Structure 1
Amino acid sequence: MPASIAMSSVILNNPDKNLVFHLFANNVSSEKIIRFNQLSKENITIICYEISDNFSINPDTLVLHVSASTCLRFVVPQILNKVTSRVLYLDCDVLCTSNLNELINIDLTDKYSAVVPDLEKTQEKQCASCNIPYGEYFNAGMIYINTDMWVQNNLTEKAFVMINSGKVYKFADQDVLNILMQGKTVFLPKCFNYLTALTAGGKEDNLIGNDAVIIHYVTGNKPWYKLYLTPLYQHYIESSCWANDKLLLANENAPSTTRRYAKLLASQHKYFSALKYYLLYLKHKAFKRC
């Protein structure tokens, strides 16, 4: 679902453009591929790429919540350089909430990419760790890439050498890309990759300015879970082919999650539903003790 919602948001806010989506996936069912293709229109093209399970990354490099699939960013520009000199890479946990004209018209001559600096707390740790000037460590959830320059400088090969070297990078591919692209990026305002961390109820969207072009939901609390669903994200779900799908409660199956959702429902004056989930919480808690 997340990829489809992200794509739908781009389509809805850019009706004036001919869009080509290159979807890189691993072990995605044919049913989901069919649903992705429902987004296709006269000016919308969907191309799906199945990524092999043999995608080789040194597991000792991957820490925190980072998975090997995140390193797909290393191969996307190399593959797509055959068809385009510019590509907008987006993580799945994003929403496009405005027209992309300003972003795609940025001059990338002699630059690898256009990016947005990461949060200050990340800058404080990662700039020193990656030997990058303070303020120039970017978040890799949105990268507008010059694929010609990427290929000319063999960034894919260099990135895999680094990630498999045995050195542990806290943010894996993001650290590697920051190191490789240092001094060759265009830094953009945060509205092009507005980072937000959700709490129960998803009220954080209310704090985002109207100038936001791309909203990026960082941390494991994602808006496609009931506990963190935001009104804005719900709007884009309802505008997609996933509108009738039931959402999972949260990203973890724990009794405390059910209790938190019951509390959220009660705060919204949905008392019957709150009671139902609280009783479910008590049942899960009792079962866990057994």
Structure 2
Amino acid sequence: MMHIAFTIDNRFVRPCAVTMVSVLRNNVPYEIVFHVIGLNLHQEDVAFFSALCDSYGAKVFFYEVAEEKMKAYEVTWEKQRLSKVVFFRCLLSSILPMSVSKVLYLDCDVLVLSSLYGLWETDLTGVALAGVPDSFTVNPVHCRRLHYAPSYNYFNGGVLLLNLEYWRVHEVERLCAEHYRMYSDRIVYNDQDLLNSLLHERKRLLDMKWNVQEGAYRRPKGKPAGWVPPYVET
């Protein structure tokens, strides 16, 4: 079974449903288990997701997060648009059942265009997560702000394969809260900065094809007008 997690509030129900459908149309539905960790979801939202997954033969489970678990965090970037649900992915190791040893986290603005099984089978031995670089070239500004060497790169938080067994053994959830409390002045891009800062030595970088962002196609400064991004075979 492939376990896929979303963290949303009630403003992102429809976009999340689009992402779900894109997953289901490109993967074997009855092998998919969705985990929706929600904030202020209404009963009609739960019914909507349930009916959608039933129509494809997939499973979906819902979770709520106690307010006290979020006291350690504060949204800084895009706080007019984002809520504390962005930090829910730091809690997945305790929210999800112990039987779930790894989970694929997807932002609800992701569009899946092919099978995810190649990503799902990524070797996570000895690492906390696998993620895709935020850009084709490393932005050293992020690394300097978070106080680690640019050679470790900086991953995007929108698509993450999380090794929940590693998180539980090494108490990564607790370390996230402690790290945020100690270095909140460095954390600009919310949970993405936090996870990069804490886990830069305990991650595996993935091929860019697993999380292609529109920004990847912007011409970098200094590149000629005919520049195109590196070709990625999908």
Match of residue 144 from structure 2:
128
**What TM-score do the two structures reach when normalised by structure 1?**
0.63
Match of residue 200 from structure 2:
182
How has the CA–CA distance of structure 1 residues 6 and 16 changed in structure 2, closer, same or farther, with 3 Å as cutoff? closer
Match of residue 109 from structure 2:
93
Match of residue 85 from structure 2:
69
Unaligned runs of 5+ in 1: 198-206, 213-290
Match of residue 195 from structure 1:
213
- Conserved 8 A contact 1:89-1:141: yes
1:47 is aligned, of 61, 72, 77, to: 61
Counterpart AA for 2:199: M
Q: Is 2:33 the partner of 1:20? A: yes
- Conserved 8 A contact 1:126-1:137: yes
Q: Distance in 1 between matches of 2:210 and 2:71?
A: 30
Larger Rg: 1
Counterpart AA for 1:68: K
Match of residue 122 from structure 2:
106
**What TM-score do the two structures reach when normalised by structure 2?**
0.77
Unaligned runs of 5+ in 2: 1-13, 216-228
- Conserved 8 A contact 2:124-2:130: yes
- Conserved 8 A contact 1:6-1:92: yes
- Conserved 8 A contact 2:77-2:190: no
- Conserved 8 A contact 2:209-2:232: no
CA-based RMSD of the aligned residues comes to 2.6
Match of residue 148 from structure 1:
165
Q: Distance in 1 between matches of 2:149 and 2:114?
A: 31
Runs of 4+ in structure 1 over 4 Å off: 207-212
Matched length: 203
Counterpart AA for 1:138: F
Higher RCO, 1 vs 2 (CA within 8 Å, ≥6 residues apart): 2
Greater CA drift, 180-189 or 48-57: 48-57
- Conserved 8 A contact 1:21-1:46: yes
